């Protein structure tokens, strides 16, 4: 027996032909639920009911292994045609449903906490840049014999931006702490958030090798090195970590490598296992400090 599921129903075949089938409700909402359930790897109740009296039918989907025998290369699956129109389901209906599912998935992706944090980091950088420019303008202006009241709009704006910078930093810390507690514990919230912004998402960051994480944020310097030669960069964003920026120049590369290796451990725990490994990270730091001394 062969169990084949389409977007509009599930079908049980033998070599002699169709033996049984169950069609899904012919409404966009119900069909969307069925398609979404299948996409998440779950087994439908209709599939279980068909397979109940025919243990382990041959199937071509891995998600059906618990109720069937997985053999996707069986020629039966390529030679058997099940047309939706024959059962009253038009291709236009499928097109409409897939559009709705795609739009829903896009909205879900855009709501991802990763993207919110990236926008916060980019906004923070722009606010810092703006504050620096305005502070430079303030310095140049005060060189002139200027009445204090003339400077009020500028000084007020600078203070407002500085206040918002602090507020945004606190907001970033709260969000990144909930998403990546191990990495935040290891290197701090702002460095973690900046690494996330450079990688594009926490999952992408977790997939990067330590050597790449070490140089995130140093892309221009790396490109310049490859184009013009000279000394390659030893670190990117992680230079902001005190263990690197307070070290001697000759030790920074080695320390950056060690830190990048620990970051890969922490971020993988945050993204994949969701385990709290902060105690292990502390023990690892103590061990490395002893080795260095």
**What pLDDT was estimated at residue 224?**
81
Instruction: Name the token pair of 252.
Output: 């920074």
What is the distance of C-alpha 250 from the center of its chain? 35
- For residue 144, give the DSSP letter: S
Residues (pLDDT < 50) of the chain are: none
pLDDT digits (tens, 9 = 90+) for 38-83: 999 999 999 999 999 888 899 999 999 999 999 999 999 999 999 9
What angle (nearest 5°) sits at the alpha carbon of residue 111, between those of residues 7 and 200? Answer: 100
Nearest to 51 by CA among 110, 99, 11: 11
**What pLDDT was estimated at residue 10?**
96
Is the pTM value of this prediction over 0.75?
no
Give the whole-angstrom CA distance, residue 49 versus residue 77.
21
Contacts of 71 (CB under 8 A, 6+ apart): 58, 59, 60
**What pLDDT was estimated at residue 72?**
93
Give the whole-angstrom CA distance, residue 87 versus residue 289.
70
- Domains along the chain? 2-110 (3.30.420.220), 113-292 (1.10.246.90)
């Amino acid at each position: 027996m062969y169990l084949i599921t389409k977007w509009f129903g599930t079908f049980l075949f033998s070599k002699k032909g169709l033996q049984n089938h169950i069609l899904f409700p012919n409404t966009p909402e119900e069909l969307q639920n069925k398609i979404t359930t299948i996409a998440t790897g779950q087994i439908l109740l209709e599939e279980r009911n068909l397979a109940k009296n025919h243990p382990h039918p041959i199937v071509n989907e891995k998600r059906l292994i618990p109720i069937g025998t997985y053999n996707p290369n069986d020629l039966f699956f390529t030679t058997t045609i099940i047309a939706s129109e024959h059962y009253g389901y038009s291709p236009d209906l499928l097109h409409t449903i897939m559009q709705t599912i795609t739009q829903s998935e896009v909205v879900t992706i855009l709501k991802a906490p990763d993207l919110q944090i990236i926008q916060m980091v980019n906004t923070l950088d722009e606010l810092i840049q703006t504050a620096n420019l305005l502070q430079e303008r303030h310095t140049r202006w005060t060189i002139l014999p200027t009445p204090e009241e003339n400077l009020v709009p500028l000084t007020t704006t600078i203070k407002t931006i500085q206040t918002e910078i602090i507020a945004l930093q606190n907001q970033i810390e709260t969000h990144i702490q909930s998403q990546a507690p191990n990495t935040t514990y290891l290197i701090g919230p702002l460095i973690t958030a900046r690494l996330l912004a450079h990688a594009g998402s926490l999952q992408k960051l977790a997939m990067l090798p330590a050597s790449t994480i070490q140089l995130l944020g140093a892309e221009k310097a790396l490109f310049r090195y490859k184009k013009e030669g000279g000394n390659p960069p030893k670190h990117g964003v992680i230079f902001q970590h005190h263990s690197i920026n307070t070290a001697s120049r000759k030790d920074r590369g080695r320390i950056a490598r060690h830190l990048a290796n620990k970051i890969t451990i922490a971020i993988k725990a945050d993204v994949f296992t969701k385990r709290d490994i902060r105690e292990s990270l502390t023990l690892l730091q103590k061990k490395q400090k002893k080795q260095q001394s």
